[in-house]
Structure formats: C-alpha cells, structure tokens
Amino acid sequence: MPLKDQWTIVLGETACLTIDLQAAYLEPGSPRECPEGRKLVPMVNELTDLCRRLQIPVVHLRNYFRPDLSDMGLLSELREQTDSELEATAGKRGTEFYQDLNILPTDYIVNKVRNSAFIAGASSLEPLLRGLGVKTLIACGVMTDVCVFTTVANAMMLGFRVWLVGDLTATLGQQRQKAALEALDSLFAKVVTFAQVRDELKTLIA
C-alpha cells in the first residue's frame, strides 16, 4: 500500500485549486472548447463551497496572456492562433471565468502564462501557497492532460501533496482522460472521486 493512502486533509495546511475554468475552454464555440468541462462546474461549486465553510483557501487559476502573445513563449508556435473573442488574451472574453463558476471576494485569483502554474515566472501561485502555509492541494479543472497534468506534476515535485479530484477534471476525449489520470495517480498525485473528497471534508466540519 503506498503511503499516499494514509494522506489526510489538514485544516490550515490545505488549499483548493481550480484550473482554467474560464470562458476560453468552457464557452460553447470557443476554438479551445472542452465541452465536458462545463458539466463539472456544479460539482466544483459544491466542492469550493464546502472548502470555504472549513476556511480552506480557494484559488482559481486561469490562462491570461498579453494581447501580442509576447509572454506566451513557444506555445504561440505550437498551436494555431485565432482572432476569437474567446482566446485567453487580455481584453478578450476568454480570460473571464465561466459564468456559472462561483467566485467569492475572499477567493484568490492567479493568472498564469504557462500550462504549469509552477514553472518559474509562470505565476505567483507558489509564493502564494507558501505564504498561506499550504502543504496539500485539492485540485480540479481542465484540461486533464495539459494544464492540470503539468501543474499537478510540478506541485508534487515542489513538495505539495495533491488530492486530484479525477471526476472533476476533463479533456478532449476519454482515451486522453484515462491515460492522464492513470499517469498522475501512479506518479504524482492521489486521484480521488468527488464523493471521496467530499466525505473526507465533511468529517472535518465541527
């Protein structure tokens, strides 16, 4: 039995992380649309509401690039660019969080310019988490084999224990989804279901 099976959620040392639940990926008609991602939002809202009740910080990541893509790096060469209002560039609707995602003023919003929020220079996520005293992450979002994968993998390598809520992640196709979750569970995270993490959190409610 791997030691991760003994991991617990410790109040004061845990944060909830949503990844890229923004219009660029969830809005119908977006050139980067991940349709399955929209189905996750009601359960993500339930998860974040429960975390707030326990005073677990909620952090929302989003891609947010300069209009001229000067901070996008090689990603600008690896994929076709469009003039869609749903691209994740400053001034466009794609940077906005999905309309049905509940975000409160007490939540933290972190912009990133790389698939992984933990790459040096990509975002302020790591110093934020260190400042909050976070050692464990409860993570969800899109896309499982891109931004979720790289962010979770780097989190583990930086010493964060990650509870990845597998059924609150999505990507483009079940084959990609299955392969990504299997790799993450074997090497980088503790992959759990929404029901499992919800039950774990409910045991902490006084």
Q: Is the pLDDT of residue 206 over 80?
A: no
Which residue, among 150, 96, 156, has the nearest Cα to 122 in the 3D structure?
Answer: 150
Q: What is the pLDDT of residue 81?
A: 87
Average confidence score pLDDT of the chain:
97
Q: What is the pLDDT of residues 97-111, one digit of tens each?
A: 999 999 999 999 999
Confidence label for 41 from pLDDT (cuts 50, 70 and 90): very high
CATH number for the domain that contains residue 188: 3.40.50.850
Q: Is 19 exposed, middle or buried (0-12, 13-18, 19+ CB in 10 A)?
A: buried
> Cβ of 114: how many Cβ atoms within 10 Å?
20
Domain count, the chain: 1
Confidence label for 79 from pLDDT (cuts 50, 70 and 90): confident
Q: What is the pLDDT of residues 154-203, one digit of tens each?
A: 999 999 999 999 999 999 999 999 999 999 999 999 999 999 999 999 99
Confidence label for 119 from pLDDT (cuts 50, 70 and 90): very high
Q: Is the pLDDT of residue 112 over 90?
A: yes
Domain enclosing residue 52, as ranges: 3-202
**What is the Cα–Cα distance from 183 to 145, expressed in whole angstroms?**
10
Q: What is the pLDDT of residue 58?
A: 98
